[in-house]
Structure 1
Amino acid sequence: MTSIPETACDRTTVIDWWRQQCDQCSDRVAVVTEDQSWTYQDIDHLVNRFANQLHQLGCGKGSHVGLCVDRSAEAIAAMLGVMKIGAAFVPLDPEYPTDRLASMVEDAEIDVIIGHSRYETELGTPLWDARSSTGSWIDCESVMSGENLASETTREFLKTSPSEADLAYLMYTSGSTGRPKGVEISHRALVAYCIADIECYKLTADDRTLQFSTLCFDIAIEEIFPPLLSGGAVVIRPRGRSEHRNELSSLIKRFDITAVHLATAYWHSWVDLMVAAGDRVPASLRLVIATGEKVSVAHYRRWQSIADHEMLWCNAYGPTEATVTATVYVPDQAFNQDNSAGNMPIGKPLPGYSAFILDKDFNVLTAGETGELCIGGPALACGYHKRPELTQQAFINVQIDGREERLYRTGDLARWLPDGNIDFGGRFDHQIKLGSYRIEPGEIEVVIDEIEGVNESLVSYDEVDGKKFLVAYVSVGSGKDVSATYLANSLRQTLPAYMIPARYVMMESFPKTINGKIDRDSLPSPDQGDVPHDANHVPPRDSLEQRLADLWKEVLHLPEIGVHDDFFLLGGSSLLVTQVITRLTTDLSVDLPVRDFFANPTIATSARQIRKLISFDDDANAEANLSSELEDAMRIRARLPEVSPTFFPSGDYELFSVHYRPVNAQPIGAVVLAPSIGHEYTRAYRNLQQLAVQLCQVGFEVLRFDYAGTGNSDGDCSELNAKLMEQNLIDARDFLAKQTGINHVAVVGLRLGATVASQVSPGTFSQTVLWDPVESGEEFLDLVDQFHDQELQGLTRYNQVRVGDPGIDQAYGYRMSEAKRSSIAALDLRHCVEHDLVSTDDEIFWEDSRYNEAAFSSPSSFAAIERLLVSDLENRKDGASR
C-alpha cells in the first residue's frame, strides 16, 4: 500500500516524511548496490553520521553543501543528511570541467563538500581557490568505514530541523548570460512533488526503482525520493560498464526492477536495441517513464510490439523550475489503437499542479490556441539563486479567474487539445532542448567568444532523422587559422560534454539585419561546417572500416570520420553508443558488449575487435588489413618514448631500473615511480609501464626500478625492510637527477611504495603523489599472509592442500624475516605529512583474492596523476616568475 502521511501536503518536510518511513519499515531494504543491500535503518544511521559531521563543521540552516559523488548509497544518505540540518545540497558533477564546478561553488557559497576521496585531490584545491578560502571536504569512504553503523557517533541529530520554507537542494542549469544558474527548490516544493509522483505513478513499498541518472540531472530526484518515501527500494546502477549488449535490460532482469525513469532519447535507443536483438520488454517492469524531450510515436508503436504484459507507460514533461515533472500523459485505448496519430501529447498536470497557456499579454487562451505554457502550484522553485532579475522574468504573478496565481514561464509553446491534454509545440526563444538537457546557447557563445582568434559566435542546432546536435557559427575575420579541433579542445576545458558543438561553421563575418542583429535566416547550412578531427586524419582502409565509418557518420551526423578519431571526442555519448550497438546487431549480426565499445573507441580498434568476434568476409582486402594494422602499430610506436634498461648503485646493491625518455620533445620534469612489492608488484607491473609511457608523452623523464632483493635487483628479499626501501627510493631520485640534469624530481608511489614515499624527509622530492597507498603496514601483511594461506590450501594451483616450509618465513610473493615484518608493520600513513593523494575509481580489487594475480588498467588514475604533476610544475613556474 502507498504510504503518504495525511499531513504531508500541509506541513511535513522530506525529513519528517523520511523519519516516518524509517519508523514504519526500518528493516525493509531501502537501497541496493552492486554488492550490498541497505535497510532503511542502515541508511538512517548514515544520514545521522553525515548530519553530525556537517554540524561539527558549522553547517546549519541556510548553508549550501556540495555533493561531488557518484551514484551510491552514501550519495543518498548524504542528501538526506544535508537536509536534516536545514541545509541544501548542491550536486557537483565530477565529470564537469573544474572551471564550471568552481563557478558553481563560488555562486552557491559552498564551504563544505561531501565527496568521494578519488575526487578530492583532483578537484578540492581548485574549487576552494574559487572561494578564495579553504573549505572542508567530508570523505564519503571515511563516513562509511565504521564497523557499527548504529554506534554512538550516529545518534539521532535533533538540534536543528528543517522547515518547509528551507531549501532542500540547489540544482544548476545552463544560463543565457554565460554562467550556470542555480534553481532553488524548497522542502515544500519537493514534498508537493513527491506526493504527486507517488499518486500519479501508483508507487508502493513493493517497487524497486532503478537509479540510473547522473545526480546532477533532476531525473535522479524522481528516482530517489518518491520511491523511498513510499517505502520502496532504490537500486543503484553499477559504475562499471556492462559486458552485455543490452545493458539496461540486463540490469532490470538482474535486480528485478519494477520502475525505470529514462531520458526520452535513451528510451528510444533502448527500444531500437530490443527490436534489433529480438528481445522483449523485461517481465518485472510495471512502470516506465520517458521524459526530457518529444517522444517518437513510431518508437511507442515498436514498444507496444515487444511488450508482453500490462504496465503503466508514461510520457512526462517538466522543467527543473517546477521540481522535476509538471505534466504526464498516459496513452489511453483510443491512442493505442489510432495508427494515424503523428504526435504524442505531454498530458495533464500532476495532482496539485496547474497549467495555463497564455498569450504575450498573459491572457488565458482556450483550446486550440497556441501560446506559452506556464506551470503553477506548490512545487514551483523559489527562484534563481542570487539572480533576482532572472527570477522576476521567469516567475510571474497573474490574475486568473479572480485569484492571483504564481506561475513559471516555461518558454515552451503549447495548446490545449479537446480532450484536456496539452500538445507541445517547441520553443519560442533560442533555448535548445538536447536529449534531456535545456541548453542556453548564450552560455556556449560567451565561452567561444573568449577563445583567441574568435570575433563573434552564434550557437544553434541541426536535426537529422529526429536527432539534434549543436552547431557553432564562428566569425574569425580574414587570415586567421582557427580550426574546429582547436575550438572543441578549448571548450572542453570549461563546458560539460553535452554542451560541446559537434560542427563548426567558420565565417569571415556574420550577415546582419537592419537592426544590427545576426540574420539567422542568411547563415550557411550546418552541413557546410567542419568537425573536430584527429590531427593525423586517416580515411577508412577496408570495407569493414568503411561500414563502421558510415555508421558513425550517420549516428554522429558528421560528414567525415577518420579511423583514429575518438568516438567520444567527436561528440559521442553513452546514449549514442547504444545506437551504434543496435545498428551493429542489425547490420552485421555482431553481439558487441557495451564494455568492449568503450575500450575500443576508434574505428581502427573497433574493427579489430569485431574481426575477433565474427569471421568478416574481407579476403580481398586481407593484404590491406595487414598493411593498416602495421600502420596502426607504427602510429602507436611513434608516440612511444626511448626506453633504456640500466642498473644504478644503492648502498651495497645494484638496482635494476628502466629509464623512459621523451622523444622529439624537451623534457619538462622528472618522475620516479615507487612500486609495491610481492604479488602487488606483479599485478601492477603493466600499469607502471603504461603510466611511465603516458608521462613521457607529456614530457617527463621517468625512472621505474626494483627494490633490493626484488625483480632483477641485487640482494636477499628477506633482508629488504622499510628503511632500505626508503633509501633505494632516494638513490633512484639521485640517479635520475644525475642522468637528466633535472634537480626537481617528483615521486609517484603505488600501494606500499606510496606508503614508503610518504616517510621520506620533506624536500627530498619536489612533489609526492600517493596512488592507492597502504594505510597500515600491519594490515598489509595480514592481507598477504591471508592470500598465502589461501593459495596453499585452495586447490587452485595444486591438486592437494599444501603446507609451507616451517623453516622459511614467507608471505604471498615475499621472503620474510622478523626484522622485515616489524619494519613494514610499523608503517602508518596517518603519521606522515600531507601529500597529493590519488585514489582510483577503477576496478583493481586489491583485497579480493580472486584478482590477486590479475593485471589491471587505471586510465582515470593516469589522468589524475598527470594533472597533479603538470599543475605542480606550472605552480612552481608561476612562483619563480613572481
Structure 2
Amino acid sequence: MTDLSNESGRHMRIHTLHHDARPDWPADPLRHLSGMDRRLFQRFGQGPVTTPPWSLIHQTIERHATASPLAVAAEHLGETITYGELDRQAGRLAARLARLGVRPGDHVALFVRRSIPMLVGLLATLKAGAAYVPQDAGLAPPAQLGHVIRTASTRVILTTSGYADRIPAPPGHTVVPIDTAMAEPFDGEGTGCPFAPARPVTPDDGCYVLFTSGTTGAPNGVTVTHRNVCNLLLTEPGDLGMRPGMRVSQILNVAFDMAAWEILGCLSHGATLVIRGADIAETVRRVDVVIATPTVLSAVEPELCGRIKVAAVAGEPCPRALADRWARVCTFYNACGPTETTIVNTMQRHDPAALRLTIGRPTPNNTVYVLDAERRPCAIGETGEMWAGGDCVSAGYLHNPRLTAERYAPDPFLGGGRLMFRTRDLGRWTPDGELEHLGRTDDQVKVRGFRVELDSVSAVLEAVPGCVRAVTLKLDDRSLVSFAAPLRVDPETARQAVARALPYYCVPVAVHTLPALPLTSRGKVDKPALLRLAAERRTAGEVAS
C-alpha cells in the first residue's frame, strides 16, 4: 500500500521571516539585498517540492519481496539472496529482536563487514522499528565500538560469527551472530505475514545512527530518520534511476553514510546489490550504478566499465578532470552534503562541456542558504557559509545538546519549527543558480571520503606519555600526518595510540617528533611550515628506499 503521509510540500515555501526565528533577527532579513537578489535567494535556494511515494524505507523493500520474491536482491563472492529470502530471514530476525526487548525508537548495533548477513541484520532492525547503528567490525577498534554501544544505548548487537568474540559487549547486552541465526531451521516465525512491531513505525523514527568524528576524540552520533532517507532515495535525482533489473555496487564502508545510499537506494528500488570483495574496480565493471567518493572512483578506469549507466560522487571535492572523464561515458552526478543533512542535499548532473563543475542545486524538499557571519543572506555571487534546511535536516546529536545548539538553529526562512544545519562549507551561487563549493570554514577535513576532526587525532596524541603538544594535518586525500613535541615521544607508540582509539582513516601515516612545534608571528602553530617539513621527510624517505 502506498504511503503518502509525508507532508513536506506544505512547508517548503521560503518566507522572509517566521515568529520562531532567532530573537535578534531583523524584521526583514533580506532588506539589505537588491530586489533581484531577494528573488534569486528564494528561487535558487529551494529545491523542487514533491511528495515521496513512501515514508518508511523498509516498506519499499518489502513491496519488492512481495511482487518479485525470486528476484536477486544481492550477491557477494558467488553467493546470492533473493528478495523473498531476504525478507523472510529479516522477518524472523526481527521477531527475535522483539523478544530481546527491541522496540520502535530503539537502536540496534550492526557491527559487520560487507556481506549478505549485513543486509539481513539491517532490514531486520528496520522491521523491528529500530534504527541500525553500523560499524565495520573488521576495522573499528574495540574502544570505538564500546563508545558507540554506550552512546547509542544499544542493548542488542548484531554481528557475524567471525567477529562475535571481539565485540566489547557490556554485561546485560546480547550479541547475536546473524549468519548463525540465518542457518537455523525455520519454524514458521517471520514468514507468511509481515512482522508487526509493538507500535507502528513513523516517518520521524530513526532509520540509522551514524557516528562522525568529534573534536574531543569521541565520535558524535547522528540520528537520520525515515523521512530524511525517503526524501533523498525515493525522489529524483537521488534515486539515480535505479529500478528492477539494474545492478548497483556496494563498495563503501557500512559506517559511511554514502553506504546507505548504495544499500537502501538499491533495495528500495528492487535492483541487485553487488557487494564487493577485495577488488573495487572488478565490482564496478559489473554494475549499472556506482556511488563513491572521488578518491575511490579515481582508481577505476571508466572506459573499462561498459555496463555503467550512472555514477555519483560525494564526500570530498571532485576534481574536474575526473568528472569530465566519467561524464563522457555515463550520467555523472557531483553531489555534496554532510551526514547531518542525510547523505547529500545538493546534486549536479555534470556535462563535460559545462563552464564549471558545481555541486548543483538543492534536492527535493530541501533548501540551501548562503549566509554571512551574521547569518544574513549573501548577495548572489558572494561567498558565504552554506546552511541546509528542509526535509534533509536530522534532529541533532545524541546526548550532545551543546554541539546540537552550535550546529543547528531554527530556520527563519521556512519557520514552522523547522531547523537548518550549519554545514561549515563555504560556497556561492553562480548566476544560473548552482552552488560552487569553496572549501571548509574549520579544520574538519575529508580523508578517503570520511570526515575527520584533526583536533580529535591530536587530542589522542597529546594523551600519550611525554607528549606536550601535537598537531595533525591533511597530507593528501588519503592520508594524515602528525607532529608531536618534544623529541622524547616515541613515534610508533603515538601512532598505535591513535589506531587503538580512532577509526583507521584517522591514523596518520607518520608521527614526526620535534623539540617544539614551529610558531607563526602571532603565536600559532605554523602549519604551512609543518606541511613543507612533511613533504621533505617523505621525499627523503623515498630517496633512501
Whether these two folds match at TM > 0.5 is yes
Contact 2:76 2:276 in 1 (8 A): yes
Give CA-to-partner distance per residue, 1:815-861, whole Å, 9 cap, x none. xxxxxxxxxxxxxxxxxxxxxxxxxxxxxxxxxxxxxxxxxxxxxxx
Cα distance in 1 between the residues matched to 2:247 and 2:466: 53
Matched, 1:368 2:405: no
Matched, 1:428 2:441: yes
Give CA-to-partner distance per residue, 1:130-163, whole Å, 9 cap, x none. xxx2311111122211355x83454532142311
Alignment of 1:346-357 (within 5 A): 346-357=359-370
Deviation at residue 4 of structure 1 after TM alignment? 7.8
Cα distance in 1 between the residues matched to 2:325 and 2:102: 51
1:144 maps to which of 182, 207, 214: 182
CA spacing shift, 1:152–1:498, aligned 2, 3 Å: closer
Which residue does the alignment assign to 2:110? 67
Give CA-to-partner distance per residue, 1:192-211, whole Å, 9 cap, x none. 12223566522222321111
One-letter amino acid of the structure 2 residue matched with residue 90 of structure 1: V
One-letter amino acid of the structure 2 residue matched with residue 251 of structure 1: T
CA spacing shift, 1:260–1:376, aligned 2, 3 Å: same
Give CA-to-partner distance per residue, 1:154-181, whole Å, 9 cap, x none. 4532142311121111100100122100
Alignment of 1:496-515 (within 5 A): 496-510=503-517
Which residue does the alignment assign to 1:23? 66
Contact 1:198 1:230 in 2 (8 A): no
Cα distance in 1 between the residues matched to 2:290 and 2:407: 31
Contact 1:210 1:259 in 2 (8 A): yes
Give CA-to-partner distance per residue, 1:777-836, whole Å, 9 cap, x none. xxxxxxxxxxxxxxxxxxxxxxxxxxxxxxxxxxxxxxxxxxxxxxxxxxxxxxxxxxxx
Cα distance in 2 between the residues matched to 1:118 and 1:561: 38
One-letter amino acid of the structure 2 residue matched with residue 560 of structure 1: G
Which residue does the alignment assign to 1:298? 321
Cα distance in 2 between the residues matched to 1:530 and 1:409: 33
Question: What 5-or-longer segments of structure 1 have no aligned partner?
Answer: 275-279, 532-552, 564-602, 604-882
Give CA-to-partner distance per residue, 1:730-761, whole Å, 9 cap, x none. xxxxxxxxxxxxxxxxxxxxxxxxxxxxxxxx
Deviation at residue 526 of structure 1 after TM alignment? 2.5
Alignment of 1:114-193 (within 5 A): 114-123=158-167, 127-129=168-170, 133-147=171-185, 151-152=188-189, 154=191, 156-160=194-198, 161-193=200-232
CA spacing shift, 1:404–1:84, aligned 2, 3 Å: closer
2:335 maps to which of 311, 316, 321: 316
CA RMSD of aligned residues (A): 2.7
Matched, 1:211 2:250: yes
Cα distance in 1 between the residues matched to 2:116 and 2:513: 47
One-letter amino acid of the structure 2 residue matched with residue 128 of structure 1: A
Matched, 1:460 2:465: no
Cα distance in 2 between the residues matched to 1:5 and 1:375: 26
- Bigger shift: 63-72 or 487-496? 487-496
1:259 maps to which of 289, 309, 314: 289
1:526 maps to which of 531, 540, 545: 531
Deviation at residue 102 of structure 1 after TM alignment? 1.0
Cα distance in 2 between the residues matched to 1:489 and 1:266: 26
CA spacing shift, 1:153–1:290, aligned 2, 3 Å: closer
Deviation at residue 314 of structure 1 after TM alignment? 1.0
1:418 maps to which of 427, 431, 438: 431
1:472 maps to which of 448, 472, 482: 482
Alignment of 1:177-256 (within 5 A): 177-196=216-235, 201-238=240-277, 241-242=278-279, 247-248=280-281, 250-253=282-285, 256=286
2:300 maps to which of 242, 249, 270: 270
Which residue does the alignment assign to 2:31? none
DSSP 3-state at the match of 2:427: strand
One-letter amino acid of the structure 2 residue matched with residue 486 of structure 1: T
One-letter amino acid of the structure 2 residue matched with residue 313 of structure 1: F
Deviation at residue 410 of structure 1 after TM alignment? 0.5
CA spacing shift, 1:172–1:197, aligned 2, 3 Å: farther
Cα distance in 2 between the residues matched to 1:425 and 1:409: 15
Contact 1:108 1:385 in 2 (8 A): yes
Which residue does the alignment assign to 2:311? 288
Aligned-pair identity (%):
25
Deviation at residue 370 of structure 1 after TM alignment? 0.4
Contact 1:46 1:74 in 2 (8 A): no
Matched, 1:96 2:137: no
DSSP 3-state at the match of 1:328: strand
CA spacing shift, 1:89–1:401, aligned 2, 3 Å: closer
Matched, 1:13 2:56: yes
Cα distance in 1 between the residues matched to 2:126 and 2:526: 49
* TM-score, length of structure 1 as denominator length: 0.53
Contact 2:103 2:197 in 1 (8 A): no
Deviation at residue 520 of structure 1 after TM alignment? 3.1
CA spacing shift, 1:522–1:171, aligned 2, 3 Å: closer
Which residue does the alignment assign to 1:385? 398
Contact 2:473 2:531 in 1 (8 A): no
Cα distance in 1 between the residues matched to 2:244 and 2:528: 55
CA spacing shift, 1:216–1:468, aligned 2, 3 Å: closer
Question: What 5-or-longer segments of structure 2 have no aligned partner?
Answer: 7-50
CA spacing shift, 1:513–1:34, aligned 2, 3 Å: closer
Cα distance in 1 between the residues matched to 2:471 and 2:89: 47
DSSP 3-state at the match of 2:350: coil
Cα distance in 2 between the residues matched to 1:200 and 1:230: 8
Query: Which protein is bigger by CA-based radius of gyration?
Result: 1
CA spacing shift, 1:437–1:152, aligned 2, 3 Å: closer
Deviation at residue 405 of structure 1 after TM alignment? 5.0
Contact 1:504 1:529 in 2 (8 A): no
Point out which structure has higher relative CO (alpha carbons under 8 A, 6+ apart): 2
2:494 maps to which of 484, 487, 492: 487
CA spacing shift, 1:263–1:74, aligned 2, 3 Å: same
Cα distance in 2 between the residues matched to 1:54 and 1:217: 24
CA spacing shift, 1:197–1:106, aligned 2, 3 Å: farther
Deviation at residue 62 of structure 1 after TM alignment? 2.8
DSSP 3-state at the match of 1:19: helix
Instruction: Give the number of the structure whose residues are more often helix, by fraction.
Output: 1
One-letter amino acid of the structure 2 residue matched with residue 290 of structure 1: V
DSSP 3-state at the match of 2:55: coil
